[in-house]
Amino acid sequence: MGGFTTILGMTSVRTTLRPPRHQFDARVKPWWRAQLALSYGVIVVPLAVLGLLIAPARWWLLGPAILFAVIGLASMALPAWWHRVHRWEVTDTAVYTLTGYFWRTWRVAPMSRIQTVDTTQGPLQRSFGLSTVVVTTASSAGAVKLEGLEQAQAEELAARLTELTDATPGDAT
């Protein structure tokens, strides 16, 4: 099996993981930016408002508000980069994803072990026409999330996955 070729082949052949084929829909970039804007806004806006209202503590409040606003603005560059990094692929036998750059994680969930396929769509996601497909296995660590698929594509994919997993026998443990 593969294990034996390893010993012989370690010096001559290098095995690597190829990246999954697909990128997420380009609309994930504005969606991620909106999420970032919201999470920073929750901090910045109250601080700024309080800073303008409470004169004695003005700079103690406006200072952090400006700091967070700058960090928030800088983080707007991240989604474009994430979009390049995060990838996904569904073959006839497995779901395969790659996430992260500083901490890269490849996940493989075989079709035969998939238990449930869910599509979810938050209010923010809906406004961008995006959906999330969550594929769970019987392992507490095995869930694979495809965040930011185009809505129709997500539904089609979920239907296909459900069909494929229904066709595979076994109790998936």
Partner 1 sequence: MSDETTAAEALETEVPGAPWLKLHPDGLKATALYLFGAGLVIGTPIAFAIATGSLLLALLIVVGGGLLVIGAVLAYEAVRLRATRYRVTESRVEMVTGVFFKTRRSLARERIRSVDLSSNPLERAFGLARVKVGTGETGSGSGSSTERTLLLDSVHKTEADRLRAELLRRAAAETGPDGEQRLATWEPRWLKYAPLSFLTPMLAGVVVGAVFQVADWFGKGGLPVEIVAGLLEEYGPWAVLGIGVVGLLVIGAVGSLVLQGEAWWNHRLDREPGGTLRVQRGLMVSRSLSLEERRIRGIELVEPLGVRAAGAGRLDVVAIGLKTDQEGSDLSTLVPAAPLAVAEAAAEAVIGPIAVDLAPHPKAALHRRVRWGVAAVVLLAAAAAAAHLLWSLPALLSAAVILAAVLGSAFALWTAFDSYRSLGHATSRGYLVSRCGSVRRATVHLDRSGIIGWRVRQSLFQKRMGLMTLDATTAAGRGHYAVIDADEHEILDFADGAVPDLLRPFLVRDEPHGG
DSSP one-letter code for 113: G
Asked whether position 94 contacts partner 1 by CB under 8 A, the answer is yes
All residues at 6 or more sequence positions from 78 whose CB lies less than 8 Å from its CB, including other chains = 32, 36
CA distances from 143 to 3, 92, 103, 151 (A): 27, 18, 18, 20
Asked if 29 interacts with partner 1 (CB under 8 A), we say no
Q: Does residue 16 interact with partner 1 by CB under 8 A?
A: yes
β-partners of residue 137 are: 114
Using the rule CB under 8 A, is 142 a contact of partner 1? Answer: yes
How many residues interact with partner 1 (rule CB under 8 A)?
48
Nearer to partner 1, 48 or 98 (CB): 98
Which of 48, 96, 154, 165 forms a contact with partner 1 (CB under 8 A)?
96
Residue 131 near partner 1 by CB under 8 A = no
Angle between helices 28-53 and 78-85 (to 10 degrees): 150
User: Which residue in the set 55, 74, 77, 103 belongs to the binding site for partner 1 (CB under 8 A)?
Assistant: 103
The least CB distance from residue 72 to partner 1, in Å, is 24
Q: Is 173 a binder of partner 1 (CB under 8 A)? A: yes
Task: Please check whether residue 143 is in contact with residue 136, taking contact to mean a CB–CB distance below 8 angstroms.
Answer: yes
Q: Pairing relation of β-strands 94-99 and 87-90?
A: antiparallel
Cβ count near 56 (within 10 Å) = 6
Dihedral, CA of residue 74, residue 44, residue 125 and residue 92, to nearest 10: 50
Q: How far is it, in rounded angstroms, from Cα 107 to Cα 87?
A: 11
Query: Which residue from 72, 108, 121, 151 is in contact with partner 1, where contact means CB under 8 A?
Result: 108
> 11 or 56, CB closer to partner 1?
11
Which one, 40 or 87, has the nearer CB to partner 1? 87
Binding site for partner 1 (CB under 8 A): 1-6, 9-18, 20, 89, 91, 93-94, 96, 101-110, 113, 115-116, 118, 134, 136-144, 172-173
